[in-house]
Amino acid sequence: MTATPKLYGETAKVKAQENDAVICSMDDQGYYGPEFYRLGFYQAVSSGLLTDYKVMVLAVDEKYVSATFQRQLADSNNELNLKDAVKIIGCWNGLSNGWPAMPMVRRFPKI
């Protein structure tokens, strides 16, 4: 049993077959059997079984990353690249409420 069934579309199934890969899509009743119960997300939240959540979309301009850190990231021997470092900094600041919300987020809080 699973709370989140894994389903694959036709494109993924064809690609898997072309590459001799086996995928198990849970819409295969021959393998998994019929669905015996479905509880949607809305119903689960309304029943207190799940909690609603928000998705945070982060964007960090490179100018907010220190010059020293940028030099370290420019080093080809460094395993962390600037793109990934900016994502990490964005996550850190977003989760710690380090930066105020951007104007669009303040105007449209459900984004």
The string of pLDDT tens digits covering residues 26-60 is: 888 888 888 888 888 889 889 988 887 777 776 66
* C-alpha radius of gyration, the chain, whole number: 22
Looking at per-residue pLDDT, the higher value among 102 and 15 belongs to 15
Q: Buried (b) or exposed (e) across 30-40, using 16+ Cβ within 10 A?
A: eeeeeeeeeee
pLDDT of 15 higher than 90: yes
Global pTM value: 0.36
